Amino acid sequence: MSTFQNGFEECHLFDPQILHDLEFEDQKCASYKPEINLTDPGEGLKIRPLCISDFDKGYLSLLTHLTKVGDISREQFEERFQLMKSQPNLYYTVVVEDTFTHQVVGSATLVKEMHFIRQCASRGRIEDVVVNSSYQGKQLGKLLVDVLTLLSKKVGCYKVSLECLDKMVPFYSKFGYAKEEGQNYMCRRYIPK
Ligand code: 16G
């Protein structure tokens, strides 16, 4: 995985430099006890963009902690990864890796959507926030949401939103997310939950 393309390692979904350029300490929304941050998320842990090699590091099995994933072959995973990567600067999946076990233990995705409204504005959506239950209590979910919220501003979204269970509302409120008066989240499903 040492091939460089467009200035970043070919394996990454997006340029890792984008994370390094975030002014996390100055702009973070949450407080952390003990202190952790983007560059030091805890002993033996590392935050980075999703890599194509994360297929072998338990990324899909991590997602089963959130919802149904299905039986995805390596080929299907790689095809989807390359398709997402080929839309530059729209898909930002960030993972936490345990560098001792080489397993992905947390992840969240920022999707940037392009629109015509508001002078050709873009909006962000925070999706698929998940932390392996064995790593809960390490503030990793908080760190991931904080990082992606900052990133949404940095990449020029005029707003960022997410969907969550009632019990998660207090958690997301910490980052400035709020139910907007008169606005409802509506969904039509084509396959059962
Ligand atoms: C949660 C996720 C959402 C994801 C959905 C999947 C966050 C903040 N929200 O609502 O992004 O799409 O779960 O559930 O991570 P589903 O498979 O039942 O649609």
Q: What is the predicted pLDDT for the residue at 88? A: 87
Cα–ligand 1 centroid distance for 191 (angstroms): 14
**What number does CATH give the domain 2-173?**
3.40.630.30
Joined together, the tokens standing for residue 29 give 């929304």
Give tens-digit pLDDT for 89-140: 999 999 999 999 999 999 999 999 999 999 999 999 999 999 999 999 999 9
Cα–ligand 1 centroid distance for 169 (angstroms): 14
The answer, yes or no, to whether any atom of ligand 1 lies below 6 A from the CB of 67, is yes
Cα–ligand 1 centroid distance for 2 (angstroms): 33
Beta bridge partners of 113: 123
What is the spatial distance between Cα 104 and Cα 111, in angstroms, rounded to a whole number? 20
The answer, yes or no, to whether any atom of ligand 1 lies below 6 A from the CB of 50, is no
Joined together, the tokens standing for residue 89 give 């600067």
Per cent of the chain over pLDDT 70 is: 95
Quick one: CA torsion of 101, 103, 107, 110, rounded to 10 degrees?
120
Domain ranges in the chain are 2-173
What is the spatial distance between Cα 37 and Cα 31, in angstroms, rounded to a whole number? 10
Q: Spell out the SS3 assignment of the chain.
A: CCCEECCEECCECCCCHHHHCCCHHHHCCCCCCCCCCCCCCCCCEEEEECEHHHHHHCHHHHHCCCCCCCCCCHHHHHHHHHHHHCCCCCEEEEEEEECCCCEEEEEEEEEEEECCHHHHCEEEEEEEEEECHHHCCCCHHHHHHHHHHHHHHHCCEEEEECCCCHHHHHHHHCCCCCCCCCCCCCCCCCCCC
Q: Is the pLDDT score of 1 beyond 90?
A: no
Q: Is the pLDDT score of 186 beyond 60?
A: yes
Ligand 1 atom nearest to 164, measured from its CA: 10
The answer, yes or no, to whether any atom of ligand 1 lies below 6 A from the CB of 15, is no
Contact indicator for 145, 131 with CB cutoff of 8 Å: no
Q: Is the pLDDT score of 78 beyond 80?
A: yes
Ligand 1 atom nearest to 125, measured from its CA: 11
To the nearest whole number, what is the mean pLDDT of the chain?
Answer: 94
Give tens-digit pLDDT for 25-77: 999 999 999 999 999 999 999 999 999 999 999 999 999 999 999 999 999 99
